[in-house]
Homo-oligomer: A and B are copies of this chain.
Amino acid sequence: MTKVRLGIIGIGNIGIHHIKIIADGQTPDIELSAAADILPQQREWASQFLGADFPVYKDGSELINKAKVDAVLIAVPHYGHPDLSIEAFNAGLHVLCEKPGGVYTKKVREMHEAAEKSGKVFAMMFNQRTNSRYKKMRELVTGGSLGAIMRTSWIITDWFRTEAYYTSGGWRGTWDGEGGGVLLNQSPHQLDMFQWICGMPSRVRAFCHEGKWHNIEVEDDVTAYFEYPNGATGTFITSTGETPGTNRFEICMENGKIVNDSGSDLTVYRLAANQREFCKTSKDCYAAPECTVEKPEIEDDNPQHTGVMRSFAEHILRGEPLVAKGQEGINALSLSNAMHLSSWLGKTIEIPFDEDLFLAELNKRRNK
């Protein structure tokens, strides 16, 4: 194989975006080989854009079964992600799946099993993982020199969407169409990076406000409080109803603090001593370890979707590392499922949570 022959399933906003990247020659290892959509007007767009001879199928199953492809990129609404991925794995194809992995973790586990069984490559479109600021944050946290995490806080409210956004597609903003709101559609990126950088919390109490800023069924405003296995605490605040939004991610650690505010440079505060030890041994009531401030250099390069697609193909062809393994997608989804469940039941939820209970609660809302 010299190029990965890729079929794109779902020719909506994001599918079109991916098609254009490939057509533009930005992913030299990928050959765009097929596309599929259940809507005639989307297929029509593809035929016009890619030429009348380009193979366009009327749905994902048909593409998987008939097209000459090595891999598929799944970009349909959320509920379709696991089933189509499973079908593709069973047909011996590699899969690059849009976030979220699915709507509920129980289903996503079946997707993992199918991937495992097939031995094929499974990758997630976590395109924000290519952002150098977050890569640097992860390096700083996992590198160890800053010690254990004591507190995390991410305010990510710069996802403002108008009412027109939600009325632009009938599936949007509904439990049955989308399976959630800002937690399933906008914030999976940050939830993924939150756990990628800081690890998974063990408990959550969330307050999800449904239809607060928009005429929708699902949540558009969320505040969540987390506890981590080591006793650290955290908060995650997100909304699609607020402008100008904030994107500020702070991680307090035993030997310092990292602050990433979209309005300023990534900033690292580094202490001359471990603050937990200092706290216990200092004889001065009000003293603190000396602190120096660093502004790490950040690469400008942030290849986003292009980078994820490239690495997917490079991994298939030459074994180079993926941006995000498919199996990692379940963590962000576990966080959002646990947040929903906590808010619905009005109580703190332990992670891992009861996945059957989550599904039963979700289905109550789908079937209303």
Instruction: List chain A positions with a Cβ less than 8 A from chain B.
Output: 150-151, 153, 155, 157, 160-165, 168, 205, 207, 209, 212-214, 221, 223, 225, 227, 231, 233, 235, 237, 239, 241-244, 246, 248, 250, 252, 256-257, 259, 264, 269, 271, 275-276, 278-289, 291, 346, 348
Contacts and interface: CB of A to CB of B under 8 A. Distances in A.
Contact of A285 (B165, B269, B287): B165
A276 B239 CA distance: 13
A295 to B, nearest CB: 13
A111 B151 CA distance: 38
A151 B242 contact: yes
Copies of this chain in its oligomeric complex: 2
A165 B242 contact: no
Contact of A282 (B153, B162, B276): B162
Contact of A209 (B233, B239, B282): B233
A287 B205 contact: no
A228 B93 CA distance: 52
A213 B246 CA distance: 30
Given A162-B284, A168-B285, A155 B157 contact: no
Contact of A214 (B161, B271, B279): B279
9 contacts: A150-B242, A153-B155, A163-B280, A165-B285, A165-B286, A207-B225, A241-B279, A242-B275, A243-B291
A252 B257 contact: no
Contact of A244 (B155, B161, B269): B269
A237 B239 contact: no
Contacts of A164: 282-285
